[in-house]
Chains A and B, each alone.
Chain A
Amino acid sequence: MDISNYLYLSVMLFTIGALGVLIRRNAIVIFMCIELMLNASNLALVTFSRIHGNLDGQVASFFTMVVAACEVVVGLAIIVTIYRSRRSASVDDASLLKN
């Protein structure tokens, strides 16, 4: 199988994630879309690693996973807190800075 197919998949996943972030309002869904984008880039990194025959990309993808894990912890905590105080997880409701 042509190795560039992995890249196409990665681009498709990334695009889906990006569109999700832009379009959806539910914070949890946006959050999942961000994870999707991260994983798409992970896939691209691993693929490039394979193409070039070294481990640089794989190492980078590990960093991404660690950062993503941290992000999940902080992000979910914020989302839960916002939900508790506002009874809503819609990102459009959290627009206090506008005024």
Chain B
Amino acid sequence: MRTSSHLVYLIALPLFSSALLLLLGRIADKWGHLLATLVSASAFGVGVSEFIAMHSHTGANRAATQKLFEWISVGNLKVDASLLLDQLSICFVLLITGVGTLIHIYSIAYMDHDKDRRRFFAYLNFFIAAMLLLVLGDSYLNLYVGWEGVGLASYLLIGFWNHNPTYAVAAKKAFIANRIGDVGLSLAIMICFTQFGAVSFSGVKAGASHASPAALTAIGAMLLLAAAGKSAQFPLQSWLGDAMAGPTPVSALIHAATMVTAGVYLITRSNFIFDASSTARLLVVTVGVITLLFGAIVGTAKDDIKKALAASTMSQIGYMILATGLGPVGYAFAIMHLLTHGFFKAGMFLGAGSVMHGMDDEINMRKYGGLAKLMPITAVTFGLGYLAILGVPPFAGFYSKDKIIETAFNQGGGKGIILGGAALLGAGITAFYMTRVVVLTFAGAKRWKDGSHPHESSVLMWGPMVVLAIGSVASGFLLSAGGALVNWLQPVVNASHAEGGKELMNPLVVSILALGIVALGASYAIVKYRSVPEVAPENVSIFTEIARKDLYQDIFNDAVLVKPGTALTAGLVATDHHVIDGAVRLVGWVIGEVSDVLRKIQNGYVRTYALAMFVGVFIGALILWVVTA
């Protein structure tokens, strides 16, 4: 393991820029966005140079560390603030800074009319810094700092237009759902410390090899809870749809490409825990499968283009989580899908932003239609992302998603059939709802009012979209050519001992099955949405109704958690008001009443006081005399 002195710049640059922009205030309004973009690009530059440096080393020396300072040193607990750049982190560093820079560029144009653009860019830079800390920390505690940092950035950016109460509530909802996950992470760290006396990845890895299965399962379950919170997985998934309240570049960067994938990173990073506990793995695949179907079903019923894409994100991360639960061989596929998803979903979100920009911030897809002619670049880039998410060869999703489905089938037995079947079904539903989005937005007759003038966005906006579209096309092939990513990640996820897992399904059969079901879903959507009513139909089947209500997740949360929670809080407030405050007020009242009586003694006449003194002295002297005599 070599040391590198440049890692800190990855985090320090955006952090410094963010602080500068926030502290300078309006002075920086003119050039704040340029500085932020420049800083993000230089972080990408540092990332690329580190990537090249990694290639010039081999074996264990590929990974680099940098100790910043001794952070905590209490008794047995010694934690350094150190950074670790290994084969896994660098994938994230390049994704975060690369896609991050593109989205910075896009935001320059997208946020052009917003008077708080500088603040927006400060938050974006802060997010980049926190996310890099998350993936570069070499211990769970360092990761935790970044984990909280991205949560804060997400909160600030979802509520960026917090003068709108709905958006402010959405931000709060996201933050609280994330906090529940964070509790899981902190519990996992505590269990690690009590079990292994260490919180660094290497320390926990060393301890995990001879830890009790119960402890490993507990840690795994807590880490999964953390991942579920951050990555919007069942049962903490409800915040992601509302998180679309944030500006679209935020949805693309934080709530599609990077932050929401932190859960996948966490599980992949903790592979030594999950490899050792099959119960934890079972939990992971269960959560993954439920969420991938859940998100896909919700996605079919959304008329809000961003919410449809958010449901899709939820579902795609479900695929990744599913892959991480499939054992060592799945990690690389999870990361591969994460990277390709980073390209095509960010690209599609930017496309959605471009459409909204051209349509006066209209988000209802039923009011779009026929935009392909007027926004050709947006339509083409979105279309490429669409083909990628469907898994049409040779686009990116074909390489990553089919691998996950195939690995799921290869689990064997009933488990393999269930997981693989669910993943396959998810792919079909994905094809349906994504086709629906494309058809509603870009095809068919125009349904917008005559007042709006849809137009192609400026080059600052379509430039990043084109780059991401190229990524959507090529990344899958590049990452999987010759098992590039699998071999690259092998030292981290230790996949070797799982190689040669039984190949129960021929990859070709899986691909044909997947393509068949995708074609089915897509053509059903095309047929169904040949004509689109401008208002969502009222008399729909019970299933559509359920899907529109997000499978009753909000109603369930409201009834089971929010209402009792509110009642409990109200009870506590009442207790505080009447019992605790009451006791204090009672004491005050008693003293007041007694004082009222005693006050009469103080009549203001000097001679009364003098008499009291004399009597007092006399009594004192009398006592003295009696005692001494």
Contact = CB atoms under 8 A, between A and B. Distances in A.
A and B form one complex: yes
Contacts of A25: 607
B614 A18 contact: yes
A94 B606 contact: yes
Contacts of B606: 30, 91-92, 94-95
B605 to A, nearest CB: 6
A92 B605 contact: yes
A97 B602 contact: yes
B602 A21 contact: no
A8 to B, nearest CB: 17
Contacts, number: 29
B605 A91 contact: yes
Interface string A76-99: 000000000000000110111111
A30 B606 CA distance: 10
Contacts of B602: 97-98
A21 B610 contact: yes
Tell me which of B603, B607, B614 has the highest count of chain A C-beta atoms within 10 A of its own C-beta.
Answer: B607
B106 to A, nearest CB: 75
A98 B604 CA distance: 4
Nearest to A21: B610
A73 interface: no
A23 interface: yes
B600 to A, nearest CB: 10
Contacts of A91: 605-607
Contact of A95 (B603, B611, B614): B603
A74 interface: no
A97 B614 contact: no
A22 interface: yes
A contact face: mostly helix, strand, loop, or mixed: helix
Interface residues of B, number: 9
B contact face: mostly helix, strand, loop, or mixed: helix
A42 B607 CA distance: 23
A23 B605 CA distance: 11
Contacts of A95: 603-606
B614 A22 contact: yes
B603 A98 contact: yes
Contacts of A22: 607, 610-611, 614
Contacts of A99: 604
A92 B607 CA distance: 8
Interface in A23-81: 23, 25, 30
Contacts of B605: 91-92, 95, 98
Nearest to A95: B604
Interface in B580-629: 602-607, 610-611, 614
Contacts of A97: 602, 604
A22 B439 CA distance: 105
Nearest to B600: A98
Contacts of B607: 21-23, 25, 91-92
B366 to A, nearest CB: 77
A4 B21 CA distance: 93
Contacts of A92: 605-607
Interface string B246-279: 0000000000000000000000000000000000
Nearest to A18: B614
A21 B603 CA distance: 17
Contacts of A98: 602-605
Interface string B304-316: 0000000000000
A21 B614 CA distance: 10
A99 B374 CA distance: 86
A99 B603 CA distance: 8
Interface of B: 602-607, 610-611, 614
29 contacts: A18-B614, A21-B607, A21-B610, A22-B607, A22-B610, A22-B611, A22-B614, A23-B607, A25-B607, A30-B606, A91-B605, A91-B606, A91-B607, A92-B605, A92-B606, A92-B607, A94-B606, A95-B603, A95-B604, A95-B605, A95-B606, A96-B604, A97-B602, A97-B604, A98-B602, A98-B603, A98-B604, A98-B605, A99-B604
Given A21-B610, A30-B606, A91-B605, 13 more contacts: A22-B607, A22-B611, A25-B607, A91-B607, A92-B605, A92-B607, A94-B606, A95-B603, A95-B604, A96-B604, A97-B604, A98-B605, A99-B604
Sorted nearest first, the 7 A-B pairs with minimum C-beta distance are: A98-B604, A95-B604, A91-B606, A97-B604, A21-B610, A22-B607, A22-B611
